[in-house]
Structure 1
Amino acid sequence: MGPKELLTKIPEVVVGWSKCRGAADAVIQKGHKGLRILKVLWRYTGTRPSNLAKNTILVKWLPQNDLLGHPKTRAFITHAGSHGIYEGICNAVPMVMMPLLSDQMDNAKRMETKGAGVTLNVLDMTSADLENALKAVINDKSYKENIMRLSSLHKDRPMEPLDLAVFWVEFVMRHKGAPHLRPAAHDLTWYQYHSLDVIGFLLATVLTVAFIAFKCCAYGCRKCFGKKGRVKKAHKSKVH
């Protein structure tokens, strides 16, 4: 039975992302047990955990965006990657975020600041932290209200994305390829494309300035110290 079919037989669901590693898995599994009234759909690849909570359903793949758009979905556990964040906003699902790397920390911080989710640290979180975070985004209406407000802002546009794509395809066809929109980069040589000519010019300029500065310093040193040396030699010759 697929994830979509499961939704027809269960009252409410939490959608989870792919597995972490090591101790974090055990924490997440234990955290799911506290949500006895909810089912947790967890995208998980690997050996089935022996202590898996009864309310957790493991799937190797799930249509994430479709499940987030289902009215029974109450929360979304995510790494806070850009795609997951946008899908959560678009479908107005409060999030529990566990960022790991790259832009995920910044994405999670932004969503938490806007009151649309809760951020947990994967390295030191406990099962109680996960359970409390899920209960907060599910039971506290402010999270749902905030994510719905963000979703409304995100969707408020003059044209639907599909209609916009159709318009630009037809625009290019009407104008015979729209050569005026063709990037000028296509007409550059390989060394211009990689800015090697600019780098070469700047490098030559820096080396020239450095060479002139070195010569000026050397000339000044010869004038100053060379004159003193000649004076000392002349003085010694007079003494002898």
Structure 2
Amino acid sequence: MLDTIIERKTVADLVDSLNDERMPEQAYYMAASGCHLQAFVVERVVVATLASDRGMLAEVNKLLSSLVVTTDLFIQHTRNIEETTILYSAVVWHRGRRLGTRDGMASWLQHQYVKDDTVGGRAFLTYSLWEKRTKLMRGEISLQQLWALQLSILPGVGLVCIDYIIEAGFETPASLAAAYTKVPSKEDGKMLLARIPPPTGGNHISKKVSKYLNDLFTAKEYAGH
């Protein structure tokens, strides 16, 4: 009912997320929650914590600036765990006070209302339904998710191109493993992505990228298979 998701990271966590490239994936899952308020709490002062490492300081600032521009995340800075706790409490208190009145609840429900919809059809209306939806989503690896995680290694494919592909809304198979096992020949597998019809105004996936991803995800070395 809070319709809120908050991700807390210390500056050290941010550095780790930069090193293992987790942040784009976490931002994706937060966006997929459907919550109207998606807050990203950065705990501790970035400049002071990374004063001795100017290179990493620049990378962290670049990451935070990118999140502001490319996502709907609201970034809030706190100096310590005590301030983070106060922030959490304030969010709960504010939402609780609003939903605890007849007018406040009526206003919230009216704002959330979608014609012919049900509570079960809107996973973020209750925590249990949102949790169920998120677990189901994390249990499926979509082709778009794999593009987001893997295309950056391709020569000549930049982040702008990746973002364009992800936002284009391709209708794709649920997973590469299932898709590639159904192709009648190796050649068809190489052309699988290139044959996916693009959305209106979009571009086809090139044959070169299609072949590369087929070779990548069907290689015996991939994921230990």
Provide the TM-score with structure 2 as the length reference. 0.29
Larger helix share, 1 or 2 = 2
Give the number of the structure whose alpha-carbon radius of gyration is greater: 1
Provide the TM-score with structure 1 as the length reference. 0.28
